[in-house]
Structure 1
Amino acid sequence: MNYSYTFNLKSPNDDKPSLIYLRASIKGEKKYLKYSTGEKIHPKYWSSENQFPIKIKGRSTEAIQINSVINQLSRYAESFQLICSRLEAENITLKADLIKEELDYQFKKIESSPHSFFSVFQLFIDEKTKLGKITSGTLQRYKNIKEILENFSNDKKYNLTFKSINDDFYVEFVNYSRKTLKHKDNTLGRNIGFIKTYMNWAGGRKYHNNYDFKRFEKTSSETDEIALSFEELETLWNFDFSENKRLEKVRDVFVLGCASGMRYSDYSRINKSNIRNGQIFINTQKQKSNLGIPLNKYSRQILEKYDYNLPIISPQKFRKYIKEVCKKVEFDEIIVKTSFRGNERIEEKIPKYKMISTHTARRTFITLSLEKGMRPDIIMSITGHKSYSSFKKYIKLSKRIREEEMTKAWD
């Protein structure tokens, strides 16, 4: 056993009730755990040999009070042992401060155990925030999945602990996501991925030794994301927005994305210091790589138009305004968007302008570059993709190119 404990009086020689402490020795810890039970007893009713109250028979006031103290100290002893046993079972090193926090949770009614599933989840989010290794968008998604899990726990009366993240949890969570939240396969798969990332992190820090989650399947299905054709890009670029400068700025920034292949978080913050020798050099937020992206006629004209200080537009407003821009340009072709929720096939008819987002620019760059004959490895060096598997999901060759290739091969 890696611990021992006893109870001590604060003032054993006083002639008045004395506060009782739980005193524990933890193997490997230099300091003792000294924890106030909040209980008091007169030293004359205390056994110095047993370090415990002397039980008095009868129904006198003294007997009732002493028996109440005995019951409470027994609770402390039982809780202390259970806490130590649980932490050891989960391969967590026993520490005085850690045990004190757990006792506080049980006896002083703090909001949640400091090492409960959700408390540790918040530590995970806090660490990611301090280290700054992930984008603000990813950080927000971790906050969202924590909230989803809290709602799941409350709605389904499912007590979420590190041990309860098992196959039963997976079945219940998938069902809840599809039936209650109406999440489609890709959203559900992304959330499962976030849960697995968190559980890996917590396991690496010895908060648990449960690795059932590694069997969890990340659901996914092909998406009908779109890209602009070259004709559409030209139409957008040449459209006269002189009467609406707000939309003109949004159009210009979006076309810069189409001409450079960068993410919005990157191309929206370009300034003159990023331009050297006819190329854009910028440390991408997601991969921290310093890309050198050659300028072309679109990107050069746009940067010169704003003297290399692009309009600042928040991501939320940009996502809204770019749809307004494309509606104005009459990109209203009806697109049948197919998605899946388990074995349920969902088809939606949506005007094209409603499907255009900040990321459409990056997909457009990749698609048009391939259509124009650029080698995939060159495009990947510009976009910063490290593997072809992550690159290929952006490829959306236009109907015209596919028809031309079919004719070339078969006719």
Structure 2
Amino acid sequence: MAYNCTFNLKDPSSKKPTLIYLRASIKSQNKYLKYSTGEKIHPKLWDAESKFPIKQKGKTKEAIEVNSIISQLSRYEEQFQLICRTLELQNKPLTVEVIRKELDIEFKKYSPKKNEFLEAFDLLIAEKKEQGNITEGTINRYTNIQTLLKEFSLKKNYPLQFNSIDQNFYTKFLNYSREHLKHKDNTLGRNIGFIKTFMNWAFNNKFHDNLEFKSFKKPSSATDEIALSMEELETLYNADLTKHPRLERVRDIFIFGCSTGMRYSDYSTIKKENIRNGIIYKNAQKGKDNLGIPLNKYSKAILEKYNYNLPIISPSKFRDYIKLACAKAGFVEDIIKTTFIGKKRIETKKPKYKFISTHTARRTFITLSLEKGMRPDVVMSITGHKSYSSFQKYIKLSTKVREDEMIKAWS
């Protein structure tokens, strides 16, 4: 497809040099792109028919200036066409906003200066929103990292510049996160990952040439996350919560998650139109796969109970109510959960129901499916895990399988 643009004067009847705009029709949006080139020219030196400067001969000051403008406008035209072709090849939306952003990057209109490190996050967040290929939750995490870095810079008096993101920054940020914020290893690891993603994006967009961030390691440690046993799942499923309708609704949606392996963001929004021939079809929020998840006796019974339209409950209310529902079901025995802040081992003792979260449902499905003999690759196809490494953290939860195998081998 041909991508054409033209140039127009801001004020064709001006008696002095006036701005030159690039204009193009973006048919996919039925909009016009109007983009200032920053170049100015006197209307007497402009060809209204070709919509381009009149080429000058000789080496006068006027000729040199006009021919320089011609060269720059040619750059704008070539870059506009390159952006459009690239977006088309990548199957990305061709919109006024995206083209404007790419032109800004190429012609350095918003290239962060050395003291504008944090402002570059705004460009990244705007780009992610425009691309529409990540969840709102992930966008919020980028915003949270931006806030976290601002606070770190103020409290530790550490100047944040692209060239200051080095091993010194890495050490100070780890210490600040662990000592001041009490961030556990996995939380800290995720934050370092977001910082590396940001620095890599900024490098690719030519905002800096500092590659020290490539060596930053993401802290992580094994955690003994909670998953329900089959007996506990049955106990919760059969618990009489009729006197507590809000808890009953949350319990039912939670059991639906335990029996499908879906993320809360997905299983909490299931509608009747997502079910066809006993199979759930719904695009996962964190991916574009339209997972076909067969119903089982639990998920089918819950859908039928609500006429295939599950109740909608806010995430914050869900987090509170599922703990109360599990307390009503009798999950009150104290358990110890171990986490790490660097080398420091943290043991937290609480009643089990206080450790139950929305994500416990997904962990429960994976754990019980493996215990019941489902192949890991089949479970992964249901849960939507792309890599075996990200799936492995769930496999360690299946302690019953290890116990059975130990008895089988050594009895």
Question: Following TM superposition, by how much is the alpha carbon of 1:352 offset from its aligned partner in structure 2, in angstroms?
Answer: 1.0
The equivalent residue for 2:363 is: 363
Contact 1:32 1:96 in 2 (8 A): no
2: CA distance between counterparts of 1:338 and 1:402? 20
Contact 2:224 2:397 in 1 (8 A): no
Question: Following TM superposition, by how much is the alpha carbon of 1:287 offset from its aligned partner in structure 2, in angstroms?
Answer: 1.3
Contact 1:229 1:398 in 2 (8 A): no
- Is the aligned partner of 1:315 residue 2:323? no
2: CA distance between counterparts of 1:96 and 1:224? 48
The equivalent residue for 1:249 is: 249
In the alignment, structure 1 segments of 5+ residues that lack a partner are 1-28, 34-91, 103-112
The equivalent residue for 1:31 is: 39
- Is the aligned partner of 1:388 residue 2:396? no
2: CA distance between counterparts of 1:396 and 1:164? 39
Question: Following TM superposition, by how much is the alpha carbon of 1:136 offset from its aligned partner in structure 2, in angstroms?
Answer: 1.9
- Larger CA deviation: 144-153 vs 343-352: 343-352
Contact 1:226 1:396 in 2 (8 A): no
Question: Structure 2: which amino acid aligns with 1:165?
Answer: I
2: CA distance between counterparts of 1:115 and 1:272? 52
1: CA distance between counterparts of 2:305 and 2:363? 24
Normalising by structure 2, report the TM-score.
0.73
The equivalent residue for 1:139 is: 139
Question: Structure 2: which amino acid aligns with 1:186?
Answer: N
Question: Following TM superposition, by how much is the alpha carbon of 1:402 offset from its aligned partner in structure 2, in angstroms?
Answer: 3.2
The equivalent residue for 1:284 is: 284
Cα RMSD, aligned residues only = 2.1
Question: Structure 2: which amino acid aligns with 1:157?
Answer: N
Question: Following TM superposition, by how much is the alpha carbon of 1:144 offset from its aligned partner in structure 2, in angstroms?
Answer: 1.0
2: CA distance between counterparts of 1:407 and 1:138? 44
- Is the aligned partner of 1:267 residue 2:267? yes
Question: Structure 1: which amino acid aligns with 2:379?
Answer: I
Q: Deviations over 1:64-107 (max 9, x none)?
A: xxxxxxxxxxxxxxxxxxxxxxxxxxxx98958559xx8xxxxx
Question: Following TM superposition, by how much is the alpha carbon of 1:349 offset from its aligned partner in structure 2, in angstroms?
Answer: 1.0
| CA spacing shift, 1:130–1:405, aligned 2, 3 Å | same
2: CA distance between counterparts of 1:321 and 1:175? 35
Contact 1:227 1:396 in 2 (8 A): no
Paired residues for 1:71-110 under 5 Å: 95=107, 97=109
2: CA distance between counterparts of 1:98 and 1:274? 43
2: CA distance between counterparts of 1:131 and 1:223? 34
Contact 1:253 1:268 in 2 (8 A): yes
Question: Following TM superposition, by how much is the alpha carbon of 1:289 offset from its aligned partner in structure 2, in angstroms?
Answer: 0.4
Q: Deviations over 1:163-201 (max 9, x none)?
A: 110111111111111111111111111110010011111
- Larger CA deviation: 387-396 vs 152-161: 387-396
| CA spacing shift, 1:125–1:93, aligned 2, 3 Å | closer
Contact 1:323 1:356 in 2 (8 A): yes
Question: Following TM superposition, by how much is the alpha carbon of 1:395 offset from its aligned partner in structure 2, in angstroms?
Answer: 2.3
Contact 1:331 1:353 in 2 (8 A): yes
2: CA distance between counterparts of 1:373 and 1:151? 48
2: CA distance between counterparts of 1:98 and 1:276? 49
2: CA distance between counterparts of 1:115 and 1:358? 41
The equivalent residue for 2:325 is: 325
2: CA distance between counterparts of 1:340 and 1:30? 54
Contact 2:380 2:386 in 1 (8 A): yes
- Is the aligned partner of 1:208 residue 2:198? no
SS in structure 2 of the partner of residue 117 of structure 1 = coil
1: CA distance between counterparts of 2:190 and 2:164? 20
Question: Following TM superposition, by how much is the alpha carbon of 1:382 offset from its aligned partner in structure 2, in angstroms?
Answer: 0.8
Q: Deviations over 1:292-320 (max 9, x none)?
A: 00000001011111111110011111111
1: CA distance between counterparts of 2:221 and 2:205? 33
| CA spacing shift, 1:341–1:96, aligned 2, 3 Å | closer
Question: Following TM superposition, by how much is the alpha carbon of 1:333 offset from its aligned partner in structure 2, in angstroms?
Answer: 2.3
Contact 1:202 1:208 in 2 (8 A): yes
Paired residues for 1:155-234 under 5 Å: 155-234=155-234
Q: Deviations over 1:32-67 (max 9, x none)?
A: 69xxxxxxxxxxxxxxxxxxxxxxxxxxxxxxxxxx
- Structure number with greater Rg is 1
1: CA distance between counterparts of 2:178 and 2:321? 31
Question: Following TM superposition, by how much is the alpha carbon of 1:129 offset from its aligned partner in structure 2, in angstroms?
Answer: 2.1
| CA spacing shift, 1:30–1:154, aligned 2, 3 Å | closer
Question: Following TM superposition, by how much is the alpha carbon of 1:398 offset from its aligned partner in structure 2, in angstroms?
Answer: 4.9
SS in structure 1 of the partner of residue 240 of structure 2 = coil
Question: Structure 1: which amino acid aligns with 2:367?
Answer: T
SS in structure 2 of the partner of residue 309 of structure 1 = coil
